Chains A and B, each alone.
Chain A
Amino acid sequence: MAEVKKNEEPRIGVFVCHCGTNIAGSIDIKAVMEYAKTLPNVAIADDYQYMCSTPGQNKIVEAIEEHKLTGIVVAACSPRLHEPTFRVATREGGLNPFRFEMANIREQNSWVHMHQPEEATEKAKDSVRIAVAKASLLEDLIPKSVPVERAAMVVGAGIGGMQAALDLASAGIKTYLVEKNPTIGGKMSQLDKTFPTLDCSQCILTPKMVDVFRHENIELLTYTEVEAVEGYIGNFDVTLRKKARGVLTLEEAEARGFVGGGCNGCGDCEDVCPVIRPNPFELGMAPMKAIYIYHPQVSPLLYTIDFDSCVKCNLCVDICGDKKAIDLNAKDEFETVKVGTVILATGYDIFPIEEKFEWGYKNYDNVITSLEFERLICASGPTGGHLIRPSDGATPKKVAFVLCAGSRDNTGVGKPYCSRFCCMYSLKHAHQIIEKIPDAVPYLFYMDIRSFGKMYEEFYYRIQDEGAKFIRGRVANILEDPVTKNLHVNAEDTLLGRPIDVEVDMVVLAAAVQPAAETDATRRLFGVSCSQDGWLLEAHPKLNPCGTTTAGVYLAGVCQGPKDIPDTVAQAEGAASAASIPIHLGEVELEPYFAVCLEDKCAGCGMCINLCPYQALALVEKEGRTVMQVTEAKCKGCGTCGGFCPGGAIWMQHFATPQIIAQIDAFLLGGEQ
């Protein structure tokens, strides 16, 4: 452990960065530097073109020794960018890295006051004075290390979650793959073909499903939801609700003493079940029994009872016979597992496009969504791959595809973002009807065709060549002919500059996507933030797209924002790599910004305990007194307790009250002590 120094006379070094012309373009660097030299405790002030460069960092290292500095201030960019860089330089100079303070004179100054150089320079002086005041009071801090449990959890077993789990498991990490549905596979298993290669979606997905099912390091927990989460990076205790399935696996049956029993997926139970209800996997377009599997390729191949509709007639129990796989009295079970890191891959849902009345979904029979189209065109779908009009079962010849249906919409009904994969799957749909239906004509109503991926623009070219009609214009409204049930699609051909009315047999709405229904509840359990539109928030949109601001929790796939299959798989592999790092290291260092109880002052009132959003505080007996104790690994240093404590008994490390008061004084008193 490094030596902790305290109570010396502060000697601060101030370094002002030009950042090329980013800062120097509007701030008088020399003036700021000269001003810094006049401040109390400042031993040296210097400037450099790029403080983050090696010569810039060397200035800090050399100055620490030469001027016997106790604290460093760099006036430059945001600490989110270069605080780690300068902390390393501070440490190399022989100081504790937490003796460093940054003054942001770029993002919060030169960039926003580009045309007010004089005021910007004065503001920069203020920032430096405030930073020096804090740096004079900074203390040595030692980061804590905590061990990391050698296991990971992936929430959601669509293609993103499956890929992340496979990567983690293949790296030798025990992985719990949690899925709310009875089968893994997610949305991708509902698709017919994938763009731009036109691979059969199931054909490329099922081998992965089998890999996941068979992998020795993956514990597959289908029909299971996350109930509660406690802990922190390295040590998450996740409580899972295993929903009552009513059907035993081979292992579960054996555990109950029915050797050779358990569900083998024979399907006899399904044949005798008298309850018929809509199949959610087929979006309600096919029937399903109360005891069911979604489709023949489910993994695990295990039946599930829907207890909401089951009438407990016992016919399935009778037919199952000696296998004794069915338990109609099953109850939800709970299990708590300990994992070091977590990947959220909770996916998406289709936006309820019926809320856009002008397109008549759920009002006109022959207006369907793109996901319904996928099931109708799929050979294993409810119609055996024959695209039919819901109104009369006829084969449609003219089909309109409405792109941006609910996307790029700022009305409040709809989504402001681009859903990103609709252009490409609509092109694929156009190809599929041209391929399957002689003389079929697809009309694509688009605002822009966003074919940005590898081989995507080439795919667009191919579909245009195949005869798809492209009409640039957002569909204004759709009207139904009450007799023929044909649809009149009204739009402007903006390239022609003229309104257009296209009579078609069927309309497919490329509906916007939104975070899956459970996303919000799940993210709250793990303490992950979300952006305005509900997608989970990455730690940095460019440089840390897989991480979150909660240490140890990572993101994969559409839950972070709309993306297609290649991007989802790529992000899943990135998230798996990120999530495996703490596990392979075996321990993680936590920033020492936690609260410390000053036990002499603590009255043991316990008011802080319930205020803590992270359950990091507890009352303990110490030397005959009740005092508060902080679990440092859980504490995020938010300061709620420290701000509240009536006795001033909680010391927020690195953000201590005297340090903050000094900053406020430095600002308000304008340098006059």
Chain B
Amino acid sequence: MNLILFIFIVLLGFTSYYFGRRKAYTIQSTNKRLTALPQFYGYYLAIWCAIPAFIIFSLWAIFEPTIVKLLILSDYSNQGYLDDELNLIYEKTKALSRGQFTGEITPFIEASAEKYLSLRSIAQSSKAVIVLSIIIASGAYAYKKISSNSRTREPVEKFLKVVLFTASLAAILTTVGIVFSLIFQTIDFFKVIPLFDFVFGTHWYPAKAFVRDSSEALDPTMYSDTFGAVPIFAGTFFIAFIAMCVAIPIGLMSGIYLAEYASVKVRQYAKPLIEILAGIPTVVYGFFAALTVGPFLKEIGNSMGLDVSAESALAAGGVMGIMIIPFISSLSDDVITSVPQSLRDGSYAMGATKSETIKKVIFPAALPGIVGSILLGVSRAIGETMIVVMASGLAANLTLNPLESTSTITAQIVVILIGDQAFGDPKTQAAFALGMSLFLVTLCLNIVALRVVKKYREKYE
């Protein structure tokens, strides 16, 4: 029913476009000057026919269940039920009305189910009637407008603006929503675990929290020395550091090569090839690191008499670095290319060689942009999950030895949230606290990166 109504509204929108446009041609044929191009008449009519109906349709879909629930549960009010029990009654009613209820059927529930069904059918038919009458009303209004040849271009343009604004608003609201969902859980977490213990504790062992029987009362003291985030923050930055040690030199040098040395032909093929690296799914990098690079490093290490873990920070960081190369090379290639040719000419004309020009003129001029690209690379390295989960182990060792395994914020979030978990439990909330800290770190990095890039733009545009 809903689907049919929806398709009907969409089809109506399309047909009314052609209808409106034809109307415009009719007006034109009477030698009247149109106020806008004929398609604006079409758009105008289509918008008026479809959009108000669609808005009502959506609002109805959002509020109908709530209202029906209220009406059903009003029968049970003043009977001393708790909220949870009321919810259960409502679920039972719904299940019964669908014929999927298997438990004991009480007369109360049966009556409610009948009421539910009748309410739903009333709602469905009144929805259809209301939507149709709105289509007729708004469509007639619009048709009258275009028949009298009044302005259609401005309303259509305004409507487009509103649509675009809504789209960006949706993106922003989602971000805000995510932040809020993090904030509340994080606050709950810090009610149990002191902030100080989290930020300065050196022992991360959330598995200890898994041991707790959920029927036991929450005892904050049992979590002491469990959620010290220092090892995983250290691990995160350490692996990101290893990754940047690989990505910055290689990415930067290949960026400089592409921008300054490569002939048009080489660039034409090399640039897309490097960018293929960016298209490889991170899970593929993950098993490349875990199954190829890790064991390879272990073998080399063993042959040199070193004790190398198969899940070493070096393997994870190194492969992560390879993953980030295309970001840095592609972005730095772009900023280097956008350094004005006149600066190169000026330097060459002074007798500077290519490498002198790059080192002394182009690189300093492009530096802010390059720093920006590096910071974006760092925030990717810190946020990267799959490679670390697969290749660097899950035990949070506090170590600076790249040959040992260590763990990162992202990997720990995965560990915590995989499988069954109870909401309202500190071990689950720990994931939110970690997510929040990760979000803050990358946010700061991105802000700095954007500022630096912006500063660079001001210089040349």
- Judge: A and B partners, yes or no: no
Give chain B's interface residues, CB within 8 Å of chain A.
Answer: none
Give chain A's interface residues, CB within 8 Å of chain B.
Answer: none
